[in-house]
Every structure is written in C-alpha cells, then in structure tokens.
Amino acid sequence: MRVERRLRSALYCSCMHRRFLSGLAVLLLGVGCKGARSETSTAAPSSAPVHEAAPTQDGRTGVRQFGAKLGQSPARPLADILAQPDAFAGKTVTVEGRVLRACSRKGCWMELAPEGTDGPGCRVTFKDYGFFVPTDSAGSKARLEANVEVTRVEPAMVSHLEQEGARFAAKSDDGSAKEIRLVATGVELWR
C-alpha cells in the first residue's frame, strides 16, 4: 500500500518524467503483484464523475460528484479562509466558490475563488491523488469538503504549476510562494 501511494504521488503530476515513472510503476506493480490479487485498484486516478445526481434540495441541477460524498464539516465562507488562513489551518471545512482554472494536463488541481469576486483564490488538490476533476472545469461552481493547509511552495514546483496554468498571488524573490491550499476529499461541480 505504501509503495502504491508513493507511485501515485510520483505519477500525479510529474509530467516531465511521466514515461519513465509509468514504466517503473508497471514493472514494480507487476513484480509485486504476480500471482496475488489486490483489493486496491492500481489504476491511475480517474476524472470520471462518481455520479450525476438528481436536482438537489437547493435547486442545483447537473451536479457531478468527484471523490467521496461531502460530509458534515462546518460550512465556512471561502473569503474568510483567504483573509485569515492561519486561523483555519489544519481544520476541515466545507466551502463553495467558482473554479477559476484547473490543471490543463490532468485535472489534478483547480483554483477556487469566492463567488462574485475577481480576486485571487486558492489551489485545491485532491487527497492522496485519489481523484481528479475535468480539465475544462473552469467556470463551474464548486462545493467541496477539504482540509485547509498553509504551506510554502518551492521554486521548482511554482514553475511547474505555472506551466500548467496556475497563478500565485505573492511570490518571494527566490521564486517560492506561500500558498493557501485546500486538500479536498470530495468535490461537487455544476454550471
């Protein structure tokens, strides 16, 4: 299980080394799983929706769900989290917002901003790279349950993410950036 998680993590967004790592993953998984059946899927994460739900009680239609169903974590305004990220760090919350952009290569992250603003948002990643969202998610509305993280992104990763369409509000002179990140366990998207 630990090897599988590391391989998923390596495959997640290592676009530059994808062929090498994919071959290595197939080799390692083939050697480790010969003759044994695994209950855990070794397939790459899918951007296929878990289900397309009927209209919700609040009138949303065409809702597509990715990852786990949303739980009962407290709803918090995204604007509050962006204004005081350290107060929410380490907490699990439910937030809503507008998807500004998503990873153009795999859908392995998206940027979420408060509804009705043009200001900066925060990056959303997906727990254990267990699911992705469609690469054309920009413009969708989203509700998600996630853990709030405040982290420093190294210069190489900042550059990599910018090549995929990400933007960082404040970069340091060394090219690193402080980032407010939501690590989602489940996402609902609709237009």
Q: What is the DSSP string of 30-81?
A: HHHHTT---SS--SPP--S-SEEPPPPTT---S-EEEESPP--PPB--HHHH
Please give the full DSSP string across 94-156, using - where no structure is assigned.
Answer: EEEEEEEEE-SSS---EEEE-TT--S--EEEEEGGG-----TT-TT-EEEEEEEEEEEEEPHH
**CATH number, domain with residue 66:** 2.40.50.140
| Model confidence band, residue 169 (pLDDT cutoffs 50, 70, 90) | confident
Q: Are residues 147 and 61 in the same domain?
A: yes
Q: Which residues face 153 on adjacent strands?
A: 177
pLDDT value for 38: 31
SS3 181: strand
Distance CA 19, CA 25 (A): 10
Between residues 98 and 50, which one has the greater pLDDT?
98
Q: Which of 1, 2, 5, 3 is nearest to 128 (CA)?
A: 5
pLDDT mean over 31-55: 41
**Residue for token digits 């390692």?**
28
pLDDT score of 150 more than 50: yes
Confidence grade of residue 167 (pLDDT, cut at 50, 70, 90): confident
* Residues spanned by the domain of 14: 2-33
Mean pLDDT, residues 132-140 taken together: 96
| pLDDT-derived band at 165, boundaries 50, 70, 90 | confident
pTM exceeding 0.85: no
Residue 98 lies in a domain: yes
16 and 81 in a common domain: no
Q: Residue 40 pLDDT more than 60?
A: no
163: three-class secondary structure by DSSP: helix
**Together in a domain, 149 and 67:** yes
Residues 77-114 have pLDDT tens digits of 999 999 999 999 999 999 999 999 999 999 999 999 99
**Within this chain, do residues 10 and 93 fall inside the same structural domain, yes or no?**
no
Residue 41: inside a domain, yes or no? no
What's the total number of domains in the chain? 2
77 and 106 in a common domain = yes
Which tokens go with 125? 């990643």
pLDDT at 4: 52
Same domain, 110 and 141: yes
Q: What is the pLDDT of residue 166?
A: 86
Asked if residue 43 is part of any domain, the answer here is no
Element (H, E) at 20: helix 18-33
